[in-house]
């Protein structure tokens, strides 16, 4: 079952002739009413991983950022094991998956820690979060910054602006 799902995921993530944005991102973005290019750019900034076989950076689904240290795993099982071990220690400062969903604030959206590493669902939660930020700001540029940091302190505003620049550079 898992092998079939993984094969299906890999096939649907492959960019087709119509777009450089993989189909899964476009479908989820359409369903969540978020620009697909923004969702994909955020994912790339959040979980950028260099894939040697294609000589390019791509979002990587088996990514964790634990206490500001990034981890990239070859398999979902390895990522789940690391995530569960970390959470058992009482830690909550972890961003998970393609969209780097922050566990502390969004754990209620997942059935389990492993569910947070399900790529399609992780993208969907990230797209929904982006949409909520857009609904508050009515501006995609501002929403992208708020995806990373919605604080109002000068430092938070600076972090949000830096993040926006990274995402919009990726869009180009």
Residue 170 confidence (pLDDT) above 70: yes
Phi/psi at 51 (5° precision): -105, 110
Residue 147: which residues within 8 A CB-CB, separation 6 or more?
42, 126, 129, 130, 133, 163
- Residue 116 near residue 122, CB atoms below 8 Å: yes
When pLDDT is averaged across residues 71-92 and rounded to a whole number, the result is: 97
Give the pLDDT confidence score for residue 163 in this predicted structure. 96
Residue 153 confidence (pLDDT) above 60: yes
Residue 127: which residues within 8 A CB-CB, separation 6 or more?
28, 29, 32, 34, 39, 99
In angstroms, the CA 125 to CA 129 distance is 6
The reply to whether the predicted model has a pTM over 0.85 is: yes
When pLDDT is averaged across residues 151-159 and rounded to a whole number, the result is: 94
Which residues share a beta bridge with 154? Answer: none
Confidence of residue 20 (pLDDT cuts 50, 70, 90): confident
Q: What is the CATH number of the domain that holds 65?
A: 1.10.530
What pLDDT, in 10s, does the model give residues 90-104?
A: 999 999 999 999 999
Residue 143 confidence (pLDDT) above 70: yes
CA distances from residue 105 to 46, 100, 162, 172 in whole angstroms, order as listed:
17, 12, 22, 30
Confidence of residue 8 (pLDDT cuts 50, 70, 90): very low
Domain residue limits at 52: 2-171
Residue 4 confidence (pLDDT) above 80: no
Which residues share a beta bridge with 59? Answer: 48
Domain count across the chain: 1
Confidence of residue 172 (pLDDT cuts 50, 70, 90): confident
104 or 18, higher pLDDT? 104
When pLDDT is averaged across residues 128-144 and rounded to a whole number, the result is: 97
What pLDDT, in 10s, does the model give residues 46-67?
A: 999 998 998 988 999 999 999 9
Average pLDDT, the chain: 90
């Amino acid at each position: 079952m898992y092998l079939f799902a993984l094969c299906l995921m890999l096939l649907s993530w492959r960019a087709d002739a119509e777009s450089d944005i993989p189909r899964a991102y476009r479908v989820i973005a359409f369903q969540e009413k978020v620009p697909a290019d923004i969702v994909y750019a955020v994912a790339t900034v959040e979980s950028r991983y260099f894939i040697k076989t294609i000589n390019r950076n791509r979002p990587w689904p088996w990514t964790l950022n634990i206490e500001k240290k990034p981890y990239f795993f070859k398999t979902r099982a390895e990522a789940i094991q690391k995530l569960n071990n970390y959470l058992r220690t009482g830690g909550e400062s972890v961003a998970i998956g393609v969209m780097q969903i922050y566990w502390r604030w969004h754990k209620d959206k997942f059935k389990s820690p492993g569910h947070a590493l399900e790529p399609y669902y992780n993208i969907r939660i990230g797209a929904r979060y982006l949409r909520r930020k857009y609904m508050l700001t009515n501006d995609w540029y501002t929403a992208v910054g708020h995806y990373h940091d919605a604080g109002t302190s000068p430092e938070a505003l600076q972090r949000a602006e830096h993040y926006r620049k990274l995402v919009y550079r990726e869009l180009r």
